[in-house]
Amino acid sequence: NFTQIKYLDVFDEKITSKGKFYYKKSNKICMDYAQPMNYLIVINNNQLKIVSDGKKSIMDLHSNKMMNQMQDMLTACMVGDLSNMSPGYVLEYFEDAHYYLIQIKPVSKAVQAYINQIQIYLDKKDMSVHKLRLSETATNYTEYEFSNKKFNSLKDETKFTIR
């Protein structure tokens, strides 16, 4: 399960969404939002599908270098596997009693236009992503907190179908 909190300073309030997060190695992600509305994001290798209000859009991520770079970065961050990160990011590492914190800052001005900084909190108990915070600017951010995690339990891959 995940809880997403989006903060935009122009609205001066937080928008909370909830849903289920699925991941299958490699490069298969499904974010199935249930609250406050149904919304679906699926990444399967080089394709992205978004379903909102019953309207579906599909994008080839390889056709856009920036989107391909963003996909690699987001996939790495969502699952805590930074081995595929391009050299265009500066990484810093911290820890406290419960979490490892990885702060990621893009070097490229083009990427900085979308993402100022990423913070990944890895749970020391199982090294899974506990929280992910994407800061678009110094004050605007999207934060994901993961709970009720289950590993290697997804038997059906239909969640990742793009048609």
Q: What is the DSSP string of 87-151?
A: TTEEEEEEE-SSEEEEEEEE--HHHHTT-SEEEEEEETTT--EEEEEEESSSS-EEEEEE-S---
What's the pLDDT at 89? 84
What's the pLDDT at 46? 83
Do 144 and 2 meet the contact criterion of CB atoms below 8 Å apart? yes
**Count of C-beta atoms within a 10 Å radius of residue 58:** 12
Residue in 35, 5, 36, 66 with CA at minimum distance from that of residue 48 = 66
What's the pLDDT at 68? 67
Residue in 118, 50, 57, 129 with CA at minimum distance from that of residue 89 = 118
Q: How far apart are CA 45 and CA 88, in angstroms?
A: 21
pLDDT tens track for 147-161: 999 988 888 888 898
- Out of 3.30.565.10, 2.50.20.10, 1.10.10.10, 3.40.718.10, the CATH code matching 2-154 is 2.50.20.10
3-state secondary structure of 5: strand
Q: Which sequence spans correspond to the domains of the chain? A: 2-154
Do 65 and 73 meet the contact criterion of CB atoms below 8 Å apart? no
Per-10-residue mean pLDDT, the chain, length 163: 92 90 85 92 88 89 70 67 73 94 88 87 92 91 94 86 87
What's the pLDDT at 84? 63
